[in-house]
Amino acid sequence: MASRSVLVYGGKGALGSALVSHFKEHSWKVLSVDLFANENADVNIVLSPSDDLDTQSTKVNAEVGVALADTKLDAVLCVAGGWAGGNASNKDFVKNTDLMVKQSINSSVVAAHIAAVHLKEGGLALFTGALAATGPTPFMLGYGLAKAAVHHLVTGLASPTGGLPKDSTALAILPVTLDTPMNRKFMADADFTTWTPLSAVAEKSFEWATNPASRPATGSLVKVTTAGGVTTFA
């Protein structure tokens, strides 16, 4: 069997790095897109933050095309993102919301276009939403609205007319809190047994990428919850 390939958008972040390593362990060809290179990836596409979004997308798509030659991707996994709190009266509300839009929406939009152009038929396009954003998020308004936009994107991509290749699957994972070094640093007193290990997301993403029959229905917003160290995708 020809080697399989995956593109990880945000491949140098905490979750992205876990995905890059996991797919590499299974001998997939891994492309990472991020502001910094991930030395474990086969191909690094490094974004220039000074480029406007359209220029960024054009460059990324061209570089992906060169890296793939005449092949297609089995999966596109968009795990870029960030977090900021605050309601509308917060002095940093506009600045933080702008950052959330750039980190979550812009990355997902470029990844969606990459998937439309470079994913193979029956492939997997995975995005990162947030369980909290299925309801109002007054205490983290910018974060919530950006994730709500990602959820909406995925429901549209799941349509036969959404632009993805035939028979592909568009999913959003909706975690609560991922067990990352950054979250451990800023929430040192939390109950870590309710946090989702990055390995759990990496293993499930790999299963979905490898075996289409294991995937939830296209367009699903998959709730990712962890209790007592056990993670459930539902």
- The reply to whether 47 sits near its own copies by the rule CB under 8 A is no
The stretch near its own copies (CB under 8 A) out of 35-43, 148-156, 188-196, 200-208 is: 148-156
Q: Which two tokens stand for residue 42?
A: 């086969």
Residue type at 40?
Answer: N
- From the list 83, 127, 143, 195, the catalytic residue is 143
CA nearest 221: which of 137, 112, 128?
Answer: 128
Q: Under rule CB under 8 A, which residues in 72-101 are in contact with its own copies?
A: 87-90, 93-95, 97-98, 101
In the shown chain, the binding pattern of residues 107 to 146 toward its own copies, with x for contact by CB under 8 A and - for none, equals: --xx-xx-xxx---------------x-xxxxx-xx-xxx
The one among 54, 70, 189, 191 contacting its own copies by CB under 8 A: 54
By CB under 8 A, the count of residues binding its own copies is: 51
How many CB atoms lie under 10 A from the CB of residue 90?
Answer: 17
The one among 15, 105, 172, 174 contacting its own copies by CB under 8 A: 105
Q: Is 9 a known active-site residue? A: no
The one among 21, 40, 46, 156 contacting its own copies by CB under 8 A: 156
Q: Which two tokens stand for residue 207?
A: 């299963």
Sign of the four-CA dihedral 120, 154, 63, 29: negative
| Distance between CA atoms of residues 157 and 175, nearest Å | 20
- Using CA atoms of 5, 11, 14, 17 in order, give the dihedral in degrees to the nearest 10: 40
Q: Helical H runs in 11-138?
A: 14-25, 53-68, 93-100, 107-118
Q: Which two tokens stand for residue 38?
A: 């991930």
Q: Active-site residues: which are they?
A: 143
Binding site for its own copies (CB under 8 A): 52-54, 57, 87-90, 93-95, 97-98, 101, 105-106, 109-110, 112-113, 115-117, 133, 135-139, 141-142, 144-146, 148-153, 155-164, 219
